[in-house]
Amino acid sequence: MSLEERTRGYLNRERETADAASWQAWHAGKIKEICALGYARAPAVKRLLDTAGARPEDINGPADLVRLPVTPKSRLAAMQAGEPPFGGWLAVPVNELKRIFMSPGPIYDPQGRQAEYWGWAEGFYAAGFRPRDVVINTFGYQMTPAGLMFEESLLELGCGVLPTGVGNTEVQVGLMRDLGVSGFVGMASFLRKIGEKAREMGLNPRVDLKLEIGYVAAEILTDSLRTEVEEMFGMLIRQGYGTADCGCLGYECREANGMHFTSNAYVEIVDPQTGTPREPGEPGEVVVTLFNPVYPLIRFGTGDLAVHTEDSCPCGRTAPRILRIMGRVDQITKVKGMFVHPSQAEAVVARFPEVGAWQIVVTRENNMDIMTFDLEMSNTPADPAVFAAAFANAVQEGLKLKPVVNFVPAGAIEERDKKIRDERQWD
Ligand SMILES: [Zn+2]
């Protein structure tokens, strides 16, 4: 299939290219509907609204939704343990479910009987998957929903699926070669492993395998990994973002310039401490209200930290885009009222190759936060003072905070994995 055929069109043109007013109406209608349904059928939703002093008829759209507190994923396991199996969030009897999974937490994940339950088809289509693609699905098929959640949407789209699951790289290569597999679903790092195995077997992945399109998720996709795998196989790689609880939350289009919010849920990027919406460009937690009549999670905090944009996309889709997932909210530290995440600091440090290892130490003196960058240098700068000033400027630009720069001897940073050490004492 030509690249042109793979990159044009929409699965649901009307929804995906809707104007701002139609999105507003769509979200308002869905939010209203799911709050009313959840209130009537899911005890956890009733408790959520009752505690906030809201009646279902008070929640008529996004602006009312922010009255309800965020329920963090970290609390879901405890809620489920206290009120098994779904913590009161399930809106149908358990024996009406199609499947029940368990993901780390442990958290039980329900699957209802409706078609395309997890909502990945929109993302697959935007990535370039088309009916009659033969797709190898290397996500796990046991216990967690990963494998089946992608498979259900691929089948719905009209693709054929090889449910290979994880591992067995040599077998995966053989299947790809023998069956003319055109699509891959899994982790990009695993696809690279498959390519390396193919080379070991004396094959050229670009020539002997027919992969044209790949859909990857579940790990941070760096530009270099994407390019490497695309060139290795001569294929397109697009990524999606979602969770076992929610299914698809965002997906890349042909432009690969961020992940459009799904239309199957109301996605917010909020201040992790107050739950109020963040402006485009400001890091915040991904919070989700599912339009799912089986599992009406309302303002569910995924714990993922992301930056989004509302700029228009050349593909014609109008949903905002997650520009990048920056890590987990629980890795955040607040310094002088600003959020600092290890990944933001990492991006700054990466511009200074002479830095070998680093750690941020946060202290407090005279009721003032002090952020110190301890730096182990792999090359001693010619003029340390000039280097320190340049480094401090870069940090100021990237983190909006002025640091103290502190050179330490090699080996002085002990817990190298811990990027931020908070030494503040609070009474
Ligand atoms: Zn787009």
What is the rounded CA–CA span in Å between residue 264 and residue 122?
A: 10
Ligand 1 centroid – CA 321 distance (Å) = 8
Ligand 1 centroid – CA 210 distance (Å) = 26
Q: What is the pLDDT of residue 128?
A: 97
Query: Residue 243 carries which DSSP code?
Result: E
Domain assignment of residue 367, given as a range: 333-422
Q: What is the mean pLDDT of each run of 10 residues along the chain (427 residues)?
A: 90 96 97 98 98 96 96 93 96 97 92 95 97 97 95 97 95 97 97 97 97 94 94 97 96 97 97 93 95 98 95 97 90 85 90 94 91 94 94 93 94 86 83
Ligand 1 centroid – CA 216 distance (Å) = 17
Ligand 1 centroid – CA 241 distance (Å) = 15
Ligand 1 centroid – CA 38 distance (Å) = 32
Ligand 1 centroid – CA 8 distance (Å) = 11
How many beta carbons lie within 10 A of that of residue 194, not counting itself? 25
Ligand 1 centroid – CA 316 distance (Å) = 6
Query: Residue 88 carries which DSSP code?
Result: T
For residue 364, what are the CA distances in angstroms to 58, 369, 372? 44, 4, 11
Ligand 1 centroid – CA 250 distance (Å) = 11
Ligand 1 centroid – CA 156 distance (Å) = 22
Answer for the pair 113, 91: CB distance below 8 angstroms, yes or no: no
Instruction: List the CATH number of the domain containing 406.
Output: 3.30.300.30
What is the rounded CA–CA span in Å between residue 257 and residue 381?
A: 36
Ligand 1 centroid – CA 251 distance (Å) = 9
Structure tokens at 80: 């489920």
Ligand 1 centroid – CA 423 distance (Å) = 43
Helix (H/G/I), strand (E/B), else coil: 359: strand
Ligand 1 centroid – CA 255 distance (Å) = 6
What is the rounded CA–CA span in Å between residue 375 and residue 245?
A: 40
Residue 395 lies in a domain: yes
For residue 221, what are the CA distances in angstroms to 189, 230, 324? 9, 12, 10
Answer for the pair 403, 421: CB distance below 8 angstroms, yes or no: no
Answer for the pair 74, 330: CB distance below 8 angstroms, yes or no: yes
What is the rounded CA–CA span in Å between residue 80 and residue 102?
A: 12
Ligand 1 centroid – CA 9 distance (Å) = 11
Helix (H/G/I), strand (E/B), else coil: 316: coil
Ligand 1 centroid – CA 17 distance (Å) = 10
- Closest by CA to 133, choosing from 211, 207, 64, 43, is 211
Say how many domains are in the chain.
Answer: 1
CA 55 distance to own-chain centroid: 32
Ligand 1 centroid – CA 238 distance (Å) = 12
CA 21 distance to own-chain centroid: 27
Answer for the pair 91, 296: CB distance below 8 angstroms, yes or no: yes
Helix (H/G/I), strand (E/B), else coil: 294: coil
How many beta carbons lie within 10 A of that of residue 14, not counting itself? 8
Q: What is the pLDDT of residue 418?
A: 86
Ligand 1 centroid – CA 318 distance (Å) = 8
Strand partners, 334: 339
Q: What is the pLDDT of residue 425?
A: 83
Helix (H) or strand (E) run with residue 40 in it: helix 20-41
Residue 224 lies in a domain: no
Ligand 1 centroid – CA 260 distance (Å) = 7
Helix (H) or strand (E) run with residue 357 in it: strand 355-365
What is the rounded CA–CA span in Å between residue 407 and residue 393?
A: 16
- Closest by CA to 149, choosing from 47, 42, 247, 227, is 247
Per-residue exposure over 154-174, b if at least 16 CB sit within 10 Å of its own CB, e if not: bebbebebbebbbeebeebbe
Ligand 1 centroid – CA 327 distance (Å) = 23
Ligand 1 centroid – CA 133 distance (Å) = 22
Ligand 1 centroid – CA 181 distance (Å) = 26
Query: Residue 187 carries which DSSP code?
Result: -
Ligand 1 centroid – CA 317 distance (Å) = 5
Helix (H/G/I), strand (E/B), else coil: 125: helix
Residue 398 lies in a domain: yes
Long-range contacts: 317-320, Cβ < 8 Å, 24+?
Answer: 317/10, 317/16, 317/17, 317/126, 317/253, 317/260, 318/16, 318/17, 318/18, 318/19, 318/20, 318/23, 319/16, 319/23, 319/260, 319/261, 319/262, 319/263, 320/260, 320/261, 320/267, 320/280
- Burial label for 363, CB within 10 Å (0-12, 13-18, 19+), is middle
Ligand 1 centroid – CA 254 distance (Å) = 7
Q: What's the predicted TM-score (pTM) here?
A: 0.87
Q: How many Å from the N-terminal Cα to the C-terminal Cα in the chain?
A: 65
Q: What is the pLDDT of residue 59?
A: 97
Helix (H/G/I), strand (E/B), else coil: 239: strand
